[in-house]
């Protein structure tokens, strides 16, 4: 499938910022089922950009902006051709053995309630089938919160509130899968989901099954990603794969608005 992505993130600062540094993870990389045809990042200011790579192997763009600055708009646009792989990842150079992804983080901390539930949903005979069951059951149990975006709640909090963003549910999946002893990680990227006309920023999960490899799971669609997901970054949790990590150097509060227009 040919996916056209156009996505803008706008920051408005109530008080002018003397400087701004941001770390962007917004650039997808090629794999067997994802070919980046064109990709660009545009910023409405004079900026210095540096392309790099983080410890996970994700492409990183460092953005350095001089102030005074009352706002900034970062526009990402590109074209990606995807193919269907049944959710199984092929052609990605892995930096770490899967067992690394059994590690907990604050946002995906071990939680007895989640572990108990995951144990009940899983039947234990077939790991892959269990993960699919977990994925579908999570999507059913946790409602999408239409009023929020991004990832604020840790897995345990999202579990209690039973309302969460896509990314928060993905973190829940990660915590649940790890509680079963399955390596799992968070994926950030873009997804063309539901009735939208263009891919939106999205978060889902990947779990590792011996003999198969890394497999994507999206609790929002209750399926594995098909050809409507563009994979950008992975990490142990959403914060590690965050599309934008920023540092305010002034006293102001960031106001983040995201606008994705139709391609």
Partner 1 sequence: MPMRQAFDEIMGAGEGGPPRAELAALSRWIETTPADELRRRQQAAEATFRQLGITFAVYGESDAAERIIPFDIVPRVFLPGEWARLSEGLVQRVEAINAFLHDIYGERRILAEGVLPADLVLGNPQFRPEIAGMRPPHDIWAHICGIDLVRTGPDDFFVLEDNARTPSGVSYMLENREAMLRLCPELFRRFRVAAVDSYPDRLLETMKSVAPHGVSQPVCVLLTPGHYNSAYYEHSFLADSMGIELVEGADLVVDDDIVWMRTIAGRVKVDVIYRRIDDDFLDPLVFRPDSALGVPGLIAAYAAGNVAILNAPGNGIADDKAIYSYMPEIVRFYSGGDAKLPNVETWRCREPQALAYTLDHLDELVVKLVDGSGGYGMLVGPTASKAEIEAFRAALIAEPHRYIAQPTLALSTVPTMADQGLAPRHVDFRPFVLSGRRGVQVVPGGLTRVALKEGSLVVNSSQGGGTKDSFVLMDDQPGAAQQMRTDVMTQTLGAMTQETRS
Is residue 236 a contact partner of residue 105, using CB atoms and an 8 Å limit?
yes
Secondary structure, 3-state, 195-243? CCCCCEEEEEEEEEECCCEEEEEECCCCECCCCCEEEEEEECCCHHHCC
The residues with which 34 forms a beta bridge, in sequence order, are 31, 82
Q: Pick the binder of partner 1 from 4, 41, 43, 62 (CB under 8 A).
A: 62
Cα–Cα distance for residue pair 212/89, rounded to 1 Å: 9
* Residue with smaller CB distance to partner 1, 195 or 247: 247
249 sits near partner 1 (criterion: CB under 8 A):
yes
Cα angle, residue 68 at apex, residues 63 and 70 outer, rounded to 5°: 85
48 sits near partner 1 (criterion: CB under 8 A):
yes
The residues with which 78 forms a beta bridge, in sequence order, are 5, 39
50 sits near partner 1 (criterion: CB under 8 A):
yes
110 sits near partner 1 (criterion: CB under 8 A):
no
Question: Token pair for residue 51?
Answer: 């392309």
Q: What is the closest distance, in whole angstroms, from the C-beta atom of residue 109 to partner 1 in the complex?
A: 12
Q: What is the closest distance, in whole angstroms, from the C-beta atom of residue 247 to partner 1 in the complex?
A: 4
Cα–Cα distance for residue pair 146/105, rounded to 1 Å: 26
198 sits near partner 1 (criterion: CB under 8 A):
no
16 sits near partner 1 (criterion: CB under 8 A):
no
Q: Pick the binder of partner 1 from 15, 38, 70, 96 (CB under 8 A).
A: 96
75 sits near partner 1 (criterion: CB under 8 A):
no
Q: CA–CA distance from 112 to each of 155, 159, 205 (Å)?
A: 11, 11, 20
Q: What is the closest distance, in whole angstroms, from the C-beta atom of residue 181 to partner 1 in the complex?
A: 12
Q: What is the closest distance, in whole angstroms, from the C-beta atom of residue 184 to partner 1 in the complex?
A: 14
Q: C-alpha dihedral over 162, 10, 228, 134, to 10 degrees?
A: -20
- Let me know how many helices (H) and strands (E) the chain has, helices first: 4, 12
93 sits near partner 1 (criterion: CB under 8 A):
no
Q: What is the closest distance, in whole angstroms, from the C-beta atom of residue 24 to partner 1 in the complex?
A: 10
* Subset of 207-246 contacting partner 1 (CB under 8 A): 236, 239-240, 245-246
42 sits near partner 1 (criterion: CB under 8 A):
no
112 sits near partner 1 (criterion: CB under 8 A):
no
How many C-beta neighbours within 10 Å does residue 119 have? 14
Q: What is the closest distance, in whole angstroms, from the C-beta atom of residue 237 to partner 1 in the complex?
A: 12
Residues that bind partner 1 (CB under 8 A): 19, 21, 23, 48, 50, 52-57, 60, 62, 64, 95-97, 99-100, 102-103, 236, 239-240, 245-247, 249
């Amino acid at each position: 499938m040919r996916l056209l992505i156009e996505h803008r993130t706008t920051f408005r600062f109530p008080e002018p910022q003397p400087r701004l540094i941001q770390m962007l993870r917004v650039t997808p990389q090629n794999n067997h089922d994802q070919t980046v045809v064109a990709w660009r990042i545009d910023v409405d200011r004079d900026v210095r950009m540096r392309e790099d790579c983080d410890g996970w192997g994700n492409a990183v763009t460092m953005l350095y902006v001089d102030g005074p600055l009352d706002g900034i708009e970062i526009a990402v646009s590109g074209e990606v051709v995807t193919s269907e792989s049944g959710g199984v990842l092929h052609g990605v150079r892995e930096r770490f053995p899967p067992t690394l992804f059994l590690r907990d983080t604050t946002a995906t901390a071990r939680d007895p309630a989640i572990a108990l539930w995951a144990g009940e949903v899983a039947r234990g005979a077939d790991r892959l089938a269990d993960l699919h069951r977990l994925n579908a059951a999570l999507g059913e149990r946790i409602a999408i919160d239409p009023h929020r975006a991004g990832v604020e709640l840790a897995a345990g909090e999202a579990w209690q509130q039973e309302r969460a963003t896509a990314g928060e549910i993905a973190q829940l999946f990660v915590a649940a899968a790890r509680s079963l002893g399955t390596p799992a990680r968070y994926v950030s990227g873009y997804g063309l989901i539901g009735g939208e006309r263009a891919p939106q920023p999205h978060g889902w999960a990947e779990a590792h099954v011996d003999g198969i490899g890394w497999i994507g799971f999206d609790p929002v669609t209750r399926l594995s990603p098909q050809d409507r997901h563009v994979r950008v970054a992975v990490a142990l949790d959403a914060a590690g794969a965050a599309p934008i990590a920023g540092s305010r150097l002034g006293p102001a509060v960031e106001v983040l608005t995201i606008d994705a227009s139709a391609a």
